[in-house]
Amino acid sequence: MIFASGVFLYYFLPVFLALYYLSPRYLKSYVIAVASYIFYGWWRPDFVILMLISTVVDYTCGEYITKAHEAGRKGKQWLIVSLVVNLGLLGYFKYVNFGIDSLNILLDSCGISPVRWMDVVLPVGISFYTFQTMSYTIDVYRGTSPPVRNFRDFMCYVAMFPQLVAGPIVRYNTIADQLHTRDHTTEKFFRGILFFQCGLAKKVLIADTLGYVANQAFDGTVQSMIDSWMGVVAYAFQIFFDFSGYSDMAIGLGFMMGFRFPINFNQPYRAVSITDFWRRWHISLSSFLRDYLYMPLGGNRKGSVRTYVNLSITMLLGGLWHGAAWNFIVWGAYQGFWLVIERLFGKRSLYGRAPRWIQIGLTFIVALFGWVFFRAPDLAAAGAFFKAMFGLGPCPLASLGLEIRPLHYIMAATAVLWTWGAPSTQVLIPRIRASHILLVQIVFIITILHMHFQDHVPFLYYQF
């Protein structure tokens, strides 16, 4: 089930909210958990079992780690159990196909028969909820998070449908008190509606519309400089408004349920360096990689060379987390390269002395090159796309080979204005005036109508 669908908007969400608010306080977490299992299992009910396994394992491990601490021991073996189970599930379902395919390429080059293997279907959201549940056991082991009060609250925490399949990655210690007790106010509910409406508009009107242009550019037929640049810019806006739109909807649904989720985007295309970009883009993942990978590797505490190695490893694994393919690994290496270079310049970019608007523009271009690796189906396609961008394709300057309609130009202009001329949703909504609320409702109605005249487009991060 996806947010941008009639089933969710007209049936699931109204029924859920009615049951949620009619239920007594002690049952509200159960209502969330059961509704979340239905939401998650809408496509493949059997995948709910995987989430339940992670839930039971990490709840149990957290309990035993807590008992070990009370007895004066560390309980490290229970942390290891949690990591092995969660990383084992993630590794099998997300990376076994990639591993077998890579092995078969190697075997074929040596003249050896390939390994026969039935493709494994990737469960939606497994990258997010495994990181989320692991963060709980790690934090309990470190003593930075309180143990969960009961299994009901932990079920609710792991399965909570607003951020279940595409984040943000919410750490238990940030909402532990909210799971136990939270306030439900008209102001918070209304703010949640506005967040959801803005997020849906970002996704349906901007991301999906520009995604049509990006898909044409990356289908392997674009060979001109102008079209390739238009395609990668369209994709940059598509992935931003798709993912930030989802995050806004998740935050909005959280408000409707009385929760406050952390922000996941802070105007990343206004960054003045790649270091700054990663402070603003997918903030929950960036902080996760920093706290659970970069810092345990040693962070910047063991000398310059080790710092550069740790940054590179962190971003390589961050790239691999996004997808089981070599282009994602290269994308992670590319990001790590720029972080290392900027670290050499004191966390500033090579163009750090330029006027701010030039720094922003150059950082955006650096990010665009990275998005080519991220979006291209493989490294060969990425290489061909780069050739086109630099005018080395068969038709260097041919333009508008893409099918572009007036709506695409309108949404591109809207994306530019929203990205560089308007405050973020988190800043805008608390300050929104009554006169602007009518405009939001008109845009929301247009979004709903547009949604019914196009095919359902899943959120991009569902596949990661």
Its domain, for residue 117, covers 6-182
Q: Is residue 46 part of a domain?
A: yes
Tell me: do 159 and 26 sit in the same domain: yes
What is the rounded average pLDDT of the residues 208-213?
92
Tell me: do 196 and 157 sit in the same domain: no
Tell me: do 199 and 70 sit in the same domain: no
Q: Is residue 146 part of a domain?
A: yes
Q: pLDDT tens digits for 294-306?
A: 999 888 888 888 8
CA dihedral 146, 150, 153, 156 (to 10 degrees): 120
Q: pLDDT tens digits for 372-397?
A: 999 999 999 999 899 888 888 776 66
Tell me: do 421 and 368 sit in the same domain: yes
**What are the C-alpha distances in Å from 87 to residues 134, 169, 175, 297?**
9, 16, 24, 18
Q: Does 363 score more than 90 pLDDT?
A: yes
The total number of structural domains in the chain stands at: 2
Contacts of 163 (CB under 8 A, 6+ apart): 128, 169, 170, 250, 254, 261
What is the rounded average pLDDT of the residues 407-425?
91
Tell me: do 138 and 37 sit in the same domain: yes
Q: Does 270 score more than 70 pLDDT?
A: yes
State the alpha helices, DSSP H only, in 219-355. Answer: 225-256, 274-280, 283-289, 304-322, 326-344
Minimum mean pLDDT range among 104-108, 177-181, 200-204, 338-342: 104-108
Dihedral sign for Cα atoms in the order 237, 240, 242, 248: negative
Encoded tokens for 118? 């039935």
Tell me: do 227 and 137 sit in the same domain: no
Domain endpoint, select from 157, 182, 207: 182
Tell me: do 127 and 202 sit in the same domain: no
Domain endpoint, select from 151, 182, 213: 182
Confidence class of residue 269 from pLDDT cuts 50, 70 and 90?
A: very high
Tell me: do 268 and 131 sit in the same domain: no
Minimum mean pLDDT range among 18-22, 54-58, 234-238, 428-432: 428-432
Whether the ω angle into residue 355 lies within 30 degrees of 0, i.e. cis, is no
CA 320 to chain centre: 14
Q: Is residue 373 part of a domain?
A: yes
Tell me: do 19 and 147 sit in the same domain: yes
Tell me: do 131 and 248 sit in the same domain: no
Q: Does 432 score more than 90 pLDDT?
A: no
DSSP state of 202: I
Angle between helices 13-22 and 28-40 (to 10 degrees): 160
Residue that is written with structure tokens 């603003």 in the block:
280
pTM beyond 0.85, yes or no: yes
Active site residues: 322
Confidence class of residue 197 from pLDDT cuts 50, 70 and 90?
A: very high
Q: Does 165 score more than 90 pLDDT?
A: no
Tell me: do 411 and 434 sit in the same domain: yes
Encoded tokens for 6? 């009639």
Q: Is residue 75 a contact partner of residue 64, using CB atoms and an 8 Å limit?
A: yes
Confidence class of residue 398 from pLDDT cuts 50, 70 and 90?
A: low
**pLDDT for res 434:** 76
Q: pLDDT tens digits for 315-350?
A: 999 999 888 889 999 999 999 999 999 998 887 788
Q: Is residue 342 a contact partner of residue 348, using CB atoms and an 8 Å limit?
A: yes
SS3 state of residue 324: coil
Tell me: do 224 and 151 sit in the same domain: no
Q: pLDDT tens digits for 116-158?
A: 877 888 888 888 889 899 999 999 999 888 888 889 899 999 9
Q: Is residue 358 part of a domain?
A: yes
**pLDDT for res 455:** 64
